[in-house]
Structures are given as C-alpha cells and as structure tokens.
Structure 1
Amino acid sequence: MSLLSSRHTRRLKVHSARWQRRALFVLGGVVVGAAAVMLALLADRAQQAFHHLLLHWHYASLVVTPLGFGLSVYLTRRFFPNSQGSGIPQAIAARQLRDHGLRHRLVSIRIAIGKILLTLLGLLCGASAGREGPTVQVGASIMFALGRFSPRRQPGLILAGAAAGVAAAFNTPLAGIVFGIEEMSRAFEVRTSGLIIGGVIAAGLTSMALVGDYTYFGTTSATLGTSADWLAVPVCGAIGGLAGGVFSRILILVAGGLPGKAGRWIKRWPVPFAILCGLGVAVCGLAAGGTTFGTGYEQIESVLASGAALPWSFGLLKFAATSLTSISGIPGGIFSPSLAIGGGVGLNLSAIFPGVPVGAMVLLGMVAYFAGVVQAPITAFVIVTEMTDNHAMMVPLMATALIASSLSRLVCPEGVYHALAKNFLRQTRGTAEPPAAAAG
C-alpha cells in the first residue's frame, strides 16, 4: 500500500508541475500582450507629439532629434545597459547562455522598463525606429522574470516571450510562432512547442481584447494578374534582397567596431556619435518632407489603403534614416522601418511594371527587403500576408522572399540578428562559460 501511495503521490506532483508550467506560459502571454498594447498606444502618442511639434516649428528636428539621440544613448549606457538596438539579438543571446545571472544581464524587468521608456524617447524625437523588436525583448524579459515563480527552470520561456511579443505587436499569431521557430531558435522544439503556442494565443487574445481585431497595414486585394506580372517577383526579390543585405552589413560592421580612427572615435565618444546620427536623421526627414520620421507605418498604410503618393526618394531616405538610427546605439527596432523601406522600393519599381497594381508591388518590395535583412524567408512572407490579409499574394510573396534571402547572403553571409547576438554573447559571457545549446 505504501508503494502504491508513493507512486500516486509522485504522479500527482508531476501532474501538478505540468499544470503549473502551462499556467505560467499562459499568464506570461497575457502580461506580454498587455505590455505590447501599452507600448503600441504610447508609441503612437509619441509620434503624434513629434509631428505636432513639426507643424509648429518646421526645423525643430534639427535640434530635438540630435539632442534626443544623445540623451537616449547616455541613459542607455548609464542606467539600462544591453537595452540598445532592437532587442532581438539580446533575446537570442540569452537563450544560448546557461548561467541564470548572465541571462539576467540581457533580459530582465529593469531592461524591459528601460526598453519601453527609451524606445518611446526615440520616437518622441523622430527616430526611424519601430516598437516591434523592443516588444520581443520586453516579452522575453517578462517571461524570464515569471520563471522565478516556477518550481524548476522552464525551457522555452525566453522563446515563448519573444514569439508572444511579435504576435501581440503585429496582431499576427501565426507569424509569432514562425518567428520563434525560424529566427529565435532555428529549430522546432517538440518539448515546448505546445506551451509556446499557448503563450502566443494568450498574448494575441489579450491584444484583441484591448484594441480589437485588426490588420496591421489594413487590407488589400491587389494581386498579380497576367504571367508577365510575375517578372516583378525576381526583380523585387533581387533588388530588395541585396538592399537588405547592405543594411545588415552596415549594422554588423559598426556594431563590431569599425577599423582605424573612426572606430576608435565612435567607441570613445558614443554620445557625440549618436548626436551626429540624430542630425543625419533630421536632415533625411526634412529632405523627405517629414515622411521618414517614426516607424513608417502610416506612410505604407496610406499607400495600400488609398493609393496615396510618397516622394520618389522615400525608400532611399528611409534607408539612410533607419541605418543612422540603428548604428547610433539608441533602443529601437527595425521591423516596421524595414517594411516601410521595402514598400518604398516596391513603389519605385512600380514605374517599371505599370500593368501591376501598385499595392502588389508594395507588398513584393516589403517582403523582399525584410527577408533580405533578417534572412528568414518564411517569417517574412507569413508576416506580410497576415498584416495585409492578402492570401492571394502568398505564392508570389513566398517566391520573392526566397530569392531575396538567397541574394542577401551574397552581401551579408549571416542574418543581422544572429550576427549581432554573437557580440552580446562575447560581451556577456566572455570565455567563462562554454557554448551550450539554447534551452530557455
């Protein structure tokens, strides 16, 4: 009897532990979803405040943007180290660390708070940055913090938080799951897949409950008609993929340290360098009539929804502004700006293909450039399809993403997030901890 009782007790403990794990992932998804909605609403307010300032003083960006960049980098380095950039490389690096304390340097509630505040500061001063990448680091930090309430370490918490962050930020649950598999882990983990999906669902439902169901860029029915229209697929894939590879190459080179005097100067004087980058962003904004400031969401949404016109130089100037923002060292993502740059590329290429609907060209450009930057083709076409609710374009988007991702590797052999993650691993781990398989 005592043996049967002992077995029964052990079964109860195992059953209880499983339900605790499930509850933890669902609770984390709810919290991540709420945080994503809060950041989205505040980010919109920050951009509106900056545009309101420009209406009253056209050249305000020449003062506000450089000073804001300098202040952001100072606060980042002084109070919130490892919160710079998009935050996705930090989440990837954290998963590859064994030591709990070392992980805490990359994903923590302190970093999450700093990430939110400083991302908003960047948008408040006109940075060409997004909020979706920061939401990934915030989500990973929240899940990692909740793991302390578990009786044992929870595999997949950081991965689940990152995936839930993407799902809630874009209202794209499928893209969140694909992002977690293809970009964050680069493998399908059967052991934790169900729990991760549960967290993504909880985050998505929380987002929908707070702001309703919506498509990020609205809806468009544009598609490719004749067989001649399909010539746009390789053209957009090639140009967008190569441009995305160039952007990634710039970020990786600057983050790793430029050679010579320029690299030493940037390392020694990060705040003045950020101020110069901010000045460059301001000049790009003025040259583009203010369209390159912020995430770029409004500009592309207006093109897809109503066929609004953008300056012919929008794509190029948005590329320059986003590059300067990203290398400056301020917290801010590249998801939305990359999609906006790609949309600008597609818009310009529509002049070569007058018979193809402009909306279809914009979608092809978006997926091509984004796939070229992240080199995650499945995530690229899934996220664009979900954000525009245009399933008729899925096959052309899929082909474009594959072409773009392949050609991007000719310029930049490794995806930008994983290349940057190696920098954080070196800085955080040094040689004290041997490499390990990602487990958390």
Structure 2
Amino acid sequence: MATTERLIKDITRERRFHFRLFIEGIIVGIFAGCVIALFRYLLGASEILRPLIYNMVAESFQAGDYSLPLLYIATFVIIGWLLMKIVQNEPMCTGSGIPQIKGILMGRMNMRWLSVLVSKLIGGVLAIGAGLSLGREGPSVQLGACVGQGVSRRFIRTRYEERILMTAGSGAGLAAAFNAPLAGVIFGLEELHKSFSPVLLMASITAAVTATTVTQVIFGAGPVFHIGDLAIFPLNMFGILILLGAFIGLLGRIFNPSLLFSMNTYDRLGLSGIKRPLLPLLLAAALGFILPDILGGGNRLVDALSHNWYPLYFLIILFVGKFLFTMVCFGSGVPGGIFLPMLVLGAAGGAVFGSVLASFGVLPYIYVGDIIVFGMAAYFAAVVKSPITGSVLIMEMTGSFHHLLALICVSMTAYLVADLTGGKPVYEELLNRAIRLKEKAHGIGASSSGRRIALELVVSSGSVVDKVLIKDIKWPEQTVVVDIKRGLQRINPMDDARLYAGDFVYLLTNDTDISILKEMIEKESTPKR
C-alpha cells in the first residue's frame, strides 16, 4: 500500500519528481564518472605496462635467464586463480554485465550492487589488463548501473525510481567509458529500458552528461579513437556503403552463434575452477610474443589501422585472430565485455573491404579510413541490432560528426542483412542463455524474486491493450493500474477507462510479470487473419 501511495505521489507531483531525478542524475553521474575514470586509468596503465613486460621477458629468455619467464607464467596463473575466486564469490560479475542489467530491469535477476561493483572493477582490470580480448564498455555499463542502484538504496527510493536510476547509471557508464554522452543516453533507451518517458530522459541525460564531464576533466575532451580528420565521403559513392553494409552484416551474423558455441564448449568440456580463466590467459601470454596487436580491448589497433598501411593477408590474420581470441576469452566467463572487440572486428573487416576495393581502383585510398570507421558502426548494428546507438556511438568516438548520414546508411544495411538472415540481438541471446542456465540449476522461476514493483509502460499502437477498456484486459494476477497519463492529462484508472496508443500506464505488479506486461503493452500484436 505504501508503494502505491508513493508512486501516486511521485506521478501527481510531476515537477517535484522531475527535479528530484535531475539532482539524483547528477549524483549518479558524479559517482559513475569517478568509478569509470578509475577503471579507465588502470586499464590504460596496463596497456602501457604490457609491452614493456613482453620485452623484458623476451630479453631475459634470449639471454638464457629463465627466472623472469617463469615468474611471467606464474603471474598469469595467479591472475587466473584470482579471477576464479572473484567469479565464484560474485557470479553476477561474469561476462559483459549488460545482459545482467537487462535481466534486472525485466525483473528476472537480482544484484548486490556493492559486491558487484567491487568484483567487476577488480576482475575487469585483471582480465583486460592481462591482455584478454575483452572490452571495458560492458563492465562500465554494469558499474554505472551499480552506482544507480546504490544511490536509489541510499535514498530509499521505490523500485520504479530505482529502475530509472539504474538505466541512467548504465548510460552514464557507457558515456564515461567512451566520451559519448549522446550514445549513452540512446543506449539506455534503445537497448536497456526499451521505452521512452520524460522522467527517464531527465535522469539519463543528466547522468550521462555529468559522468562524461568528470572523465573529460581527467582524460581530456578528445574522442576515444584518434582517427584524425577524415575526408567527406561523396554521395555518388554511397553504393559502396551498401556493399560494405552487406559484407560486414554477413561477418557480424556469425558472431553470435560463435559466441554461444564458445560458451557451450567450455561447459561441454567440463572446464571449471581455475582451468576456465587459465586457458585464455595462457593463450594471451603466448600471443604477446606472436601477435600482440589482438590483445586487450583493441582501441589502439583501430588507431593503427586508420594511420598505417597493412598488406591484405595481415589484415585477414588480424580479423581472424581477433575473432577467435575474443570467442575464447568471452566464453571463459571472466569479467569483460564484447562491445570494444566488436568495434575492432568491424574496423578490421572494413580495412579488408577498403583494401580490396582500393587495390582494384574502385575506391580512392583517401576514403579507406572512412570505410574503417563505417565498418565499426556496421558490425555493431549487425551484432547488437541497435543501428541508431551504433551510428551515434561511432560518430562520438571518432569525432566524425560530418558522417552521420553515411553511418546510418551502412548501419541500417548491416542491420537488415543480419535480420534477414535470422540474426538476433547478442545481449538478448546472452540474457536468455543466462536465464535458462539459472532455471536449470535452481528450478523454474528461481530467477525471479516475486517482489512488488512499480512500472511505467507506454501503450504501443496496435498492442493488445490499445483501444481496450481496463476491465476487459487480462492483467497478470495481482497487477493494479495505478494511474494513466495522456499528454498533460491524468486519466482516472477506473474499470471503464480506455487505453490508447501513447498513454503512459503506471502499474503495481510482481517483478515476475514485467516481461509479460511489456509484451502486452509495448509490442504490436500479430493481426488476426
């Protein structure tokens, strides 16, 4: 009853609620920015330290002194043991973190925010710093969500407000990781929350801008990728972008099945304990002397591809090596994301495409750098199935603000190719896999808590509740319609009230029914024949 009263109070006192979210968004942004700044600093230091260690070990080995190489191998074993302990202590810190946040927002998972924040921060630095092909963005999103949940718990907010602050924190984490505030906001709306509302936008924009400001004060305001000035891609060559989108879309189409195959292979082989993280770690230890370009997240590789010329065979080796190594690393389940490795694969695929066209005289060499940038957006769109987020993200990460039209063109093409060939969003597939494994281990429904939660949903045109009386809708058990907002007007949620597309519906329900309600209200129903 108290939850219902607090929800109605927040809805009816809209301006006060907006102002409170504005202040809380700033608080979330400040703390998220500080946490991500620490994360970025430690990872940056590891990228500088790693090549120095490889040189010292190689020189020691050549001189016949094997003490340093043995210590080098022992260090990787210790890191593997630490990662094993971290994952065993806090299973929610495994992998990217984005599927877990989606699961929490859907009411299918729970998280101990402080434990996850500490575990993800330490585990991510150890795994990525050791050279595993994993990205910082997934952990940054989860770290930001932990901050949002922590702020909500500190101020004793409702579950409805907590979901808003977690979404805002997630976007702030992405924004701080890549100096991309607009992409952070869009990612939170398009990929995580899957809906739009003024209150959500208020908190998301405030948190993303604040977090980005914090990291820019520390690291500077420049883009993450140092591509330099790119030539404006001419409109009469946009046909090449269609071909590029189709090519990268097909490359991206094999990413998700390969990722799931890698994770399932670890399970099938029965690799557990220290064996699971140790396999990719020892592989990283060897690759440091054979192909160091594919180690780590890969943002320096993108810079190198855009500034240096590489023969076609080496570009293919880079793509295949980065792809396979990413599969091995992510399949192990250690903390680390796939966001940045995806972008690197897109850049490498674009470099292959551009090199082939340039060698045949179809594409002037001056535009190969453009193709590399467009390849990143296309690969992201094909794998994540979020073309708008991908286009805006790459625009902000590279500073290519004059190429938005080209980015959207190639992203939509790659998205359509992946969609027509049966591709599914990678984070949805990872979430479904995690839920299946949890239900298998603990029993059906064990992944849900059954807590009462307040929910805000927007009625979609053509959904099963559009133009239907409240009393005629088959609501899940114990679901109560608390309020309805239609533009600036509040509608009394009586049984004879009718819902229309665009209405904001405020519900009190069990968190186990969030997915059902979102399906009912926010998705277009299949027309009857």
Pick aligned residue for 2:423 from 413, 420, 433: 413
Greater fraction strand = 2
Deviation of residue 12 (structure 1)? Answer: 12
Contact 1:29 1:199 in 2 (8 A): yes
Distance 1:68 1:300 in 2: 30
Going from structure 1 to structure 2, the CA distance change for 1:149 and 1:50 (only over 3 Å counts) comes to: same
> Does 2:382 correspond to 1:372?
yes
Distance 1:379 1:87 in 2: 18
Deviation of residue 362 (structure 1)? Answer: 0.6
Going from structure 1 to structure 2, the CA distance change for 1:231 and 1:28 (only over 3 Å counts) comes to: same
Deviation of residue 401 (structure 1)? Answer: 0.8
Pick aligned residue for 2:179 from 171, 183, 191: 171
Going from structure 1 to structure 2, the CA distance change for 1:17 and 1:372 (only over 3 Å counts) comes to: closer
> Does 2:272 correspond to 1:269?
yes
| TM norm structure 1 | 0.86
Contact 1:72 1:330 in 2 (8 A): no
Aligned Cα root-mean-square deviation (Å)? 2.9
SS of the aligned residue for 1:206 comes to helix
Contact 1:85 1:332 in 2 (8 A): yes
Q: Write the mapping of 1:12-411 to structure 2, written as runs, cut at 5 A.
A: 19-58=19-58, 63=73, 67=77, 70-97=80-107, 102-105=109-112, 108-153=113-158, 154=161, 155-218=163-226, 219-225=228-234, 227=236, 229-255=237-263, 257-258=264-265, 263-266=267-270, 269=272, 271-288=274-291, 290-304=292-306, 306-307=307-308, 309=310, 311-312=314-315, 313-354=317-358, 355-356=363-364, 357-410=367-420
Deviation of residue 298 (structure 1)? Answer: 1.1
Distance 1:223 1:194 in 2: 34
For 2:478, the equivalent position in structure 1 comes to none
Distance 1:81 1:411 in 2: 33
Going from structure 1 to structure 2, the CA distance change for 1:152 and 1:270 (only over 3 Å counts) comes to: same
Distance 1:70 1:405 in 2: 37
Contact 1:244 1:408 in 2 (8 A): yes
| TM norm structure 2 | 0.72
Paired residue type of 1:54: Y
Deviation of residue 249 (structure 1)? Answer: 1.6
Paired residue type of 1:378: I
Deviation of residue 159 (structure 1)? Answer: 0.7
SS of the aligned residue for 2:254 comes to helix
SS of the aligned residue for 1:352 comes to helix
Deviation of residue 141 (structure 1)? Answer: 0.5
Going from structure 1 to structure 2, the CA distance change for 1:11 and 1:307 (only over 3 Å counts) comes to: closer
In structure 2, runs of 5+ residues without a counterpart are 1-8, 62-68, 449-511, 519-529
Deviation of residue 239 (structure 1)? Answer: 2.3
Name which of structure 1's ranges 175-184 and 345-354 shifts more when overlaid on structure 2.
345-354
**Bigger radius of gyration, 1 or 2?**
2
Distance 1:250 1:113 in 2: 30
Distance 1:281 1:223 in 2: 38
In structure 1, runs of 5+ residues without a counterpart are 1-8
For 1:6, the equivalent position in structure 2 comes to none
How many residues matched? 418
SS of the aligned residue for 1:215 comes to coil
Identity among equivalent positions (%) equals 25
Deviation of residue 275 (structure 1)? Answer: 2.5
